[in-house]
Amino acid sequence: MERGMILLVAALMIYVSPGVQGTAHLSFVNTTVNITRHGCGVTKLCVETPNDCDPAGNTSCLFGSVVSTTPVAPNGANLSIQLRGDSNGYVALGLTVNASEGTTMLFICGQNSSDNGTFFFRTMQRNNTDDMLTATERRVTEIRGMVEGSVIKCEFDVPGVNASNTRTSHVTTFSILLGTGSFDGNVVGRFNATLNSGPLNLANPASNIQTTLAPTTNTTMGNNSGAVQPHAVLLLLSVLTLSVMLRA
C-alpha cells in the first residue's frame, strides 16, 4: 500500500491558527520521494538515528539532511531539507540555537489517521523550556511528501533562515533535532526528540563528521581533500570494526 503526493506550491505560506487546521491552495499529484545517503558529508549535512541507518531501506531509520546556500545579508540562508522516519503520527525536524532554552522551529511531516493516513505538512514552534507547541508562521516551499505504511518521507525548502535573528549566534549554526509525535487527526501531540545533533554549521555538509574524527585526524575541513579523506577514514574504521567483529 503506497500513498504519495506532491504539493505543488510556488510559495506556500503555512499558517495555522490555534484550533483551525488547514492550509490553502495545495494541489496533489502522485509522486515518490527518494531519500538516500547519497552525498552525505559531501553535498548535504546528514543526521540520523540509529547511526548510519539507511533512509532508503526498510528498517527503522530517523534521518534528516540539510543543504544550505551561502547566507547573504540581510536575507539569511535558504535550506533544502529531507526527512524520513517511522511513525503512525508524525516525524519532525527541528532547528534551534540552543535546545535547552528559547524555541525550536519545528517542521512536521505526518500522516492523518482520520484520513486514511494522508500526508500532511505543518510548521510549529516549540518552547524548549516547557515543550509546548504553538502554531507558527514560516514560509516553506516545494513541499513533497509520501506515506508508505508507517514510513513518512518528505522534502521541502525553507528560505530566509538566520540564527542571529533570535540570538547571538552564527547565521547558519543550529542544533538539529529529530523526533516523532502523535497526531489524532486534530491535535499535534508533544514532540519527542530522539536526536539532538548539538550546534552544527548547516552550511558545512561535513560539520558533524569533523567532530567524530577529531581524535584520529587533524585534517582541515572545508577543502576538497578534507571532504574526501574522512570517508576513507570512516571506511577504514568500519573495516576495522568488521575485523574486530569477525574475531569476536
Ligand X SMILES: *[C@@H]1O[C@H](CO)[C@@H](O)[C@H](O)[C@H]1NC(C)=O
Positions in the binding site for ligand X (CB under 6 A): 21, 32, 34, 57-58, 69, 71-76, 78, 98, 100-101, 103, 112, 114-116, 120, 127, 129-130, 159, 162, 164-165, 171, 185, 192, 194, 217-218
CB nearer ligand X, residue 224 or residue 246: 224
CB nearer ligand X, residue 43 or residue 127: 127
Q: How many CA atoms lie within 13 A of 134 on its CB side?
A: 6
Q: Which three cell numbers stand for residue 148?
A: 508508505
CB nearer ligand X, residue 73 or residue 246: 73
Task: Count CB atoms within 10 A of the CB of residue 242.
Answer: 10
- Least separation in angstroms between residue 223's CB and ligand X is 13
CB nearer ligand X, residue 2 or residue 101: 101
- Least separation in angstroms between residue 94's CB and ligand X is 14
The beta strand positions in the chain, using DSSP E, are: 3-7, 12-14, 28-29, 45-49, 62-68, 77-86, 90-96, 103-112, 118-127, 133-135, 138-148, 151-161, 173-181, 192-201
Q: Is the dihedral of CA 204, 209, 213, 219 positive or negative?
A: negative
CB nearer ligand X, residue 74 or residue 215: 74
- Least separation in angstroms between residue 219's CB and ligand X is 6
- Least separation in angstroms between residue 21's CB and ligand X is 5
198: left (phi over 0), alpha (psi -120 to 50) or beta: left
- Least separation in angstroms between residue 41's CB and ligand X is 19
